[in-house]
Structure 1
Amino acid sequence: MNLLPSTALEDMDTQHKNRSTRLDDVKSIRHSLQFLVLVALFVTAYFAKELLLPVVLGFLLALTLSPVSRGLYRAGVPHVVSAIMLITATGVLVLAIVAASAGTVAVWSDEIPRMGTEIQEKLRGMSNAVENVRAMTDEVEKMAASEKSAPEVVVKQPTLLDTAFDTVTSFGATFAVAMILALFLLSSGPLFYLKIVQAFPTLTGKKRALSTVYDVEKRVSRYLLTITLINAGLGVAVGIYLTILGLPGGYIFGIAAFLLNFLPYIGGVIGAVLVGAYSIAHFDTLGYALLAPIGYQILTGVEGQFITPWLVGRRLAMNTVAVFLTVVLWGWLWGIPGALVAVPFLVVFKVICENFEPLYTIGNFLSGEDPVVTDEAPEQEEPARA
């Protein structure tokens, strides 16, 4: 038997080590590129908010209404007709809410200075320490200002009316683009899904893509519809409770509770603070005024701890830490609109992770405390055959 000389063995060992080194370098480069792509996506999302936000809202609205559109199609209504009906109904509902609350909100905007003064007067006994600190801060600022030689330039701040007008205009444009996009998506029926499936070259990939798309639609639409109905019930309960207390414009805070409850964790706190501030300014006694925010917190607590977990179910249960971090991240990127779409984003990402084996670990982390365990796993990718 012929044996290879030692030099040949050394050359083979060197080639094997070089090949392993090159593979490690390729993996390292791949991970670095994936990280850079992720950073680029977040940077793009941050600077392209005005472009991406209406697109995201349009897709979410289409996902929410697609089961209803499909049900109407099975009943004999064409996709185009059902899309026009659903989008028109949604637009009329939003405009009705805005019209019902616009007058009261405009009156409140004129009374904000007076309400601020009343709140300060009623809480004066509780804020002596804060007043002392503010007085000391003012003295320090006066001393620092007296040492300045250059004249101070005062920039005129926009008024509350100007800010509100800009906000309404921006919201109107975003909402209009989202509605038009949702109309086109619903009118196309399953065409958009078929285009996604056709992008995969293998039969296994097509099956997995189709199941993932329909799973995303099913869960996101179920989540958004369920949460919308829950928030509507909460808004009605809050409006009735505040009206019984005698707080003027209680239905406005009911609408606010409906909208703010789409913000996990922080929406209830913001609503309670707003209700508390207005009730303190309106009611004569502080003890009776505190009944409004306390009742608001009780209602939101019952909704968050009992009603929502029971109706949403374990299948859509999410890791609270992941939800909180997602809300913080998208709130930092896009502000309040980003916080509103954070959880639907997380639901979509969780469904994708659960349908692709390399992402199982991430999907398991995003699940709740008692995720639904299944023995089924996605099929392995088969190479395309000639």
Structure 2
Amino acid sequence: MNLPDPDVTPAAVDVASAAALPVAPASPPLRAARTLRRHLLAVRFVLNALLVLALLYTVTITRVLLIPLVLAAFIGLALNPIVAAGARHRLPRWLTASVLMLVLLTGLGAGIGALTQPALGWFHGAPAAIKSFVPKLRSVTKPLEAANRATQSLVGGPVRAAPTQPTAVAISAWDVVSTAPKVLAAVLTVVLLVFFFLIYGDSLLRRLVEISPSFAYKRHAVEIVRSIQVEVSRYLLTALLINATLGALTTLMLWLYHVPDPLLWGAVAMMANFIPYVGAIVTTVVLALVGLINAHELGAALLPALTFAGMTAIEGNLITPMIQGHRMRLSPIAILIWLLVWGWLWGIPGALLAVPMLTSCKLIAERVRGWGWFAVMVQR
């Protein structure tokens, strides 16, 4: 006779017997509910995709309006700590903002006035510079041409020299006249928006907080707005300081290497460095071309570009991460994708504003419930 195992409990026997029973198929109402749920998820995915496409289309067709607004918002965030410091010392916000804007416009006007003449000189002298640059490549192209002729003679093909046609670069007076009002209107719009953001920005934020439904929402909104305002302002001022230092060092380096118009190329390096990776590569290529045009030896021609490449490598991999900290570091893949998207939507202004916008979105996503995944994905 088989006796029951004392170690096996009745509950275990019930579980084992239940597991041995065949699984009954789901009832028709349950299957219908699951099918409906899958269909709803598919519809939700399609609607979200359509919403993203609609937003991209809206951003593209309204870029004339949005680019000055976004640029003015970032400039206002960067300058707001100065106005706030003046308000803590009982200075009116309008007075501090007026003095700050006057100093800023004076500095920008002086810089543009100093750089306009060299830039126009390089632009109008581009055809002659290209003609003088082509003979300097003979030492590099002669071996390639000889190898090409030898290869063609071996295969029995005729040797033909490709005709060279100079490329004409010209700007008509109508282009300047038609573009100047648009540029002046955009600059005036940005200046006015920055001025009013500095004066009434805090009042606008307070009113946005006041319309929140409850005290908890108001406190949470105040924390988000203040933290983002402080951190974005700190990030923008730090990036501006780093890029200005890089531009000054580039100007000094080019002056020591006797490169013409070092201040112009230093300003180009400072502005291009706001576009990570791409800006440094473009500036290095430009400095290499300038060196090849002005120098007679290949080593001396490439020395400024190689020095600048070393400076940007140290700045991008050591100085900027050390100053900005780990929290502000972004993934290179996320930066390149963001640059590609906004450069495609807005052109050069979009590429310049891409990284500040990505940093701001990351800071906002860290504090908004349900969007923490975005901050994790774009963080390095």
The TM-score with structure 1 as length reference comes to 0.80
Partner of 2:313: 301
| Equivalent residue in structure 1 for 2:206, among 194, 210, 213 | 194
CA pair 163-319 structure 1, distance change in 2 beyond 3 A: farther
Q: Does 1:64 align with 2:78?
A: yes
Query: Residues 160-179 of structure 1: matches in 2 within 5 Å?
Result: 170-179=182-191
C-alpha displacement of 1:257: 0.8
CA pair 124-137 structure 1, distance change in 2 beyond 3 A: closer
Partner of 1:350: 362
CA pair 264-160 structure 1, distance change in 2 beyond 3 A: farther
Quote the Cα distance in structure 1 between the aligned partners of 2:173 and 2:296. 29
Aligned 8 A contact 2:246 2:270 in 1: yes
C-alpha displacement of 1:189: 4.0
Partner of 1:123: 137
Q: Does 1:220 align with 2:232?
A: yes
C-alpha displacement of 1:43: 0.9
| Equivalent residue in structure 2 for 1:84, among 93, 98, 121 | 98
Partner of 1:182: 194
Q: Does 1:276 align with 2:297?
A: no
C-alpha displacement of 1:255: 0.9
Residue segments in structure 2 that go unaligned for 5+ positions in a row: 1-26, 150-158
Quote the Cα distance in structure 2 between the aligned partners of 1:95 and 1:265. 29
Quote the Cα distance in structure 2 between the aligned partners of 1:24 and 1:190. 46
CA offsets, 1:86-119, max 9 Å, x none?
2222222211111110111122222111111122
CA offsets, 1:22-53, max 9 Å, x none?
55544443333222221111111122221111
Quote the Cα distance in structure 2 between the aligned partners of 1:224 and 1:159. 35
Quote the Cα distance in structure 1 between the aligned partners of 2:71 and 2:213. 30
CA pair 203-187 structure 1, distance change in 2 beyond 3 A: same
C-alpha displacement of 1:170: 4.2
Number of residues paired by the alignment? 339
Partner of 2:48: 34
Query: Residues 233-382 of structure 1: matches in 2 within 5 Å?
Result: 233-368=245-380
Quote the Cα distance in structure 2 between the aligned partners of 1:112 and 1:166. 23
C-alpha displacement of 1:312: 0.9
CA offsets, 1:54-97, max 9 Å, x none?
11111111111111211111111112122222222222221111
Partner of 1:206: 218
Aligned 8 A contact 2:77 2:232 in 1: yes
CA offsets, 1:331-369, max 9 Å, x none?
11111110100011101111111112311112111112x
Aligned 8 A contact 1:62 1:185 in 2: yes
C-alpha displacement of 1:160: 7.3
| Equivalent residue in structure 1 for 2:62, among 48, 52, 55 | 48
CA pair 240-338 structure 1, distance change in 2 beyond 3 A: same
Aligned 8 A contact 2:83 2:96 in 1: yes
Partner SS, residue 123 of structure 1: helix
Aligned 8 A contact 1:353 1:360 in 2: yes
Aligned 8 A contact 2:251 2:265 in 1: yes
Partner SS, residue 159 of structure 1: coil
Quote the Cα distance in structure 1 between the aligned partners of 2:287 and 2:56. 35
Aligned 8 A contact 1:353 1:359 in 2: yes
Please identify the structure whose Cα radius of gyration is greater: 2
The sequence identity of aligned pairs, in percent, is 27
Aligned 8 A contact 2:127 2:169 in 1: no
CA pair 246-202 structure 1, distance change in 2 beyond 3 A: same
Query: Residues 87-98 of structure 1: matches in 2 within 5 Å?
Result: 87-98=101-112
CA pair 228-209 structure 1, distance change in 2 beyond 3 A: same
Deviates more, 1:221-230 or 1:210-219: 210-219
Aligned 8 A contact 1:53 1:174 in 2: no
Q: Considering only aligned residues, what root-mean-square deviation do their CA atoms show, in Å?
A: 2.7
Partner SS, residue 260 of structure 2: coil
Partner SS, residue 299 of structure 2: helix
Q: Which amino acid aligns with 2:273?
A: N
Partner of 1:104: 118
Partner SS, residue 188 of structure 1: helix
Q: Which amino acid aligns with 1:297?
A: A
The TM-score with structure 2 as length reference comes to 0.81
